[in-house]
Structure 1
Amino acid sequence: MKTKTNRKLTKSNDRVFAGVLGGIAEYLQWNPTVLRVLFVLLTIASHGAGLLIYLLLMTIMPSRPEKAGFFEQMRQAGQTGSTQAAREPKGRKAIHNVHEEDEPRHQD
């Protein structure tokens, strides 16, 4: 008999797209590949309703805090403010006194 542990349903780092199915497979202690195949078959059988469910779960399932996924990193970047985005990276040099022309000069 399996013992109950305090498991939390989170997105997995074993991901193909967003880690939703990998996280569900880890929570249920299933093989992620089997769950992905079942998901594709059920999505085809339901005429695409699985995609809506996947998108919903992708937005509401939390990522693991130690290794946040792409969407979680974007969410965290938006919360830190625009001060980091406005700064130039170290070692970047700015070019000054550059003259641009709209059209090249033609000599006849």
Structure 2
Amino acid sequence: MKSNTKRKLTKSNNRVFAGVLGGIAEYLNWNANVLRVLFLVLMIPSHGLAVLIYLLLMTIMPSKPGNAGFFEQVRNASQDGESPRRSRSSGRKEIHNVREEDEPRHHE
């Protein structure tokens, strides 16, 4: 029985690495662990082609709304003009309740 709602292929929150296989499993209504085992089995005869396909899907598959993946976070940070590693604070820290003292002098 088909439903009228359109399903969209997105990365999943059920992720081991990037959520690609979890997202495909959700789209196909399969168990994600079964798909992961199938991926590992197919990786051997494909001589690594499966890994390249996975990396390609990792970069082009969107994350679910409200769940920004790694590439979306980097893309959003670069659009804001910030480095992805920098926080949005002013960068300066204030220290309160500190008493400064000179080091004691030793007379010889």
Cα distance, 1:41 vs structure 2: 0.5
Instruction: Check conservation: 2:25, 2:32, Cα contact below 8 A.
Output: yes
Output the CA distance in 2 between the equivalents of 1:46 and 1:83.
Answer: 37
Q: Say yes or no: does 1:59 pair with 2:54.
A: no
Runs of 5+ in structure 1 lacking a partner? 95-108
Q: What's the TM-score once normalised by structure 1's chain length?
A: 0.74
Moved over 2 A (4+): 1-5, 82-91
CA shift digits 1:35-69 (9 cap, x unpaired): 00000110112111100000110111111121112
2:31 aligned partner, one-letter code: N
Instruction: Check conservation: 1:13, 1:69, Cα contact below 8 A.
Output: no
Alpha carbons of structure 1 residues 83 and 18: separation in structure 2 relative to 1, 3 Å: closer
Output the CA distance in 2 between the equivalents of 1:17 and 1:3.
Answer: 30
Alpha carbons of structure 1 residues 53 and 83: separation in structure 2 relative to 1, 3 Å: closer
Runs of 5+ in structure 2 lacking a partner? 96-108
More displaced stretch, 73-82 vs 40-49: 73-82
Q: What's the TM-score once normalised by structure 2's chain length?
A: 0.74
Partner of 1:74: 74
Give % identity. 65
Aligned length: 94
